A = this chain, B = another copy of it.
């Protein structure tokens, strides 16, 4: 990691450097569940897509060992696990830790097959809702992570050691224990927040999904919003609101809420389209100014880098 001094000092330094643009010290890469779901497969996972992304991730890890964290989107697996939450059971969200372990393991298998030392880590075992009992909200287990993301705290020693060994921690959405004794859902879009403000330097959070970014002209559109100001995200939300007919899952709203929160905490966040047959993701490790000029993406970060237009 960059610089010396305390973890806190490095984190603040990271915030500053992020605003200046530059190569990240740590890349947190999330691949959305929608990209690897296959309803025809027994386990619901598209093994060929998994292998394609694993191959691309392996090239990133070879280029910057110890600087890549992977977050597996839950997609249909995670949603299925929490379809029938029972408010009378404080541990009703627990099924999520089982379902996402299966997803993590599928990724670990694919990554190890591509030559990557990857290790699944159960977020429920290392993170918790830090809010005091009187302030965790009602009994609805879906409330964790819906706010600023700062209400989740974590023990990160093993995470750091896995990175120091040049290996890739494989995380996922999970349930976390709150001070009222209830387990609450921490969605995979919120999980990258565990790497912020923790001394990892400049953290870039990249979400690969099935669209090229926040779209200004609907689901089949081509007009990608290039930049979202995390301190004024309503304009971007309004665009998505208007496209509600294709966004029944609340997926892009949830992503925007999570990524604007991460950006306000110093993360440099990007939404891009994933391609299992892609040949090169190494720009994800480079300063944005060095990216292929025609690559569509939405950038969400605290200050406007040179060249990025604010929409609208």
Q: Report B-chain residues with C-beta under 8 Å of the C-beta of A158.
A: 124-128, 155, 177
The docked-state distance in angstroms from the alpha carbon of A117 to that of B91 is 7
Contact of A155 among B90, B98, B157 (CB under 8 A): B157
Given contacts A112-B91, A155-B155, contact A121 B125 (CB under 8 A): yes
Q: Report B-chain residues with C-beta under 8 Å of the C-beta of A165.
A: 90, 177, 181
Count the A residues whose beta carbon is within 8 Å of the partner chain — how many?
Answer: 31
List A113-128 residues whose CB lies under 8 Å from chain B. Answer: 117-122, 124-128
Check A214 for interface membership: any CB of B closer than 8 A.
no
List A254-286 residues whose CB lies under 8 Å from chain B. Answer: none
Check A209 for interface membership: any CB of B closer than 8 A.
no
- Between A101, A105, A112, the greatest number of chain B beta carbons within 10 A of the residue's beta carbon is seen for A101
Return the chain B residue nearest A166 by Cβ: B181
CB distance from A103 to the nearest CB of B (A): 12
Return the chain B residue nearest A112 by Cβ: B91
Q: Report B-chain residues with C-beta under 8 Å of the C-beta of A120.
A: 97-98, 122
Return the chain B residue nearest A181 by Cβ: B165
The docked-state distance in angstroms from the alpha carbon of A108 to that of B94 is 10
A121 engages B122 (CB within 8 Å) = yes
The docked-state distance in angstroms from the alpha carbon of A101 to that of B91 is 18
Check A162 for interface membership: any CB of B closer than 8 A.
yes
A98 engages B105 (CB within 8 Å) = yes
Q: Report B-chain residues with C-beta under 8 Å of the C-beta of A122.
A: 120-122, 125
> Can you name 24 A-B residue pairings with CB atoms under 8 Å?
A90-B117, A90-B165, A91-B118, A94-B108, A94-B112, A94-B119, A97-B119, A119-B177, A121-B122, A121-B124, A124-B158, A125-B126, A125-B158, A126-B155, A126-B158, A127-B158, A128-B157, A128-B161, A155-B155, A155-B157, A155-B158, A158-B177, A161-B177, A162-B177
Give chain A's interface residues, CB within 8 Å of chain B. 90-91, 94, 97-98, 101, 105, 108, 112, 117-122, 124-128, 155, 157-158, 161-162, 165-167, 177, 181, 183
Closest 5 CB pairs of A and B: A155-B155, A165-B181, A122-B122, A125-B125, A121-B125
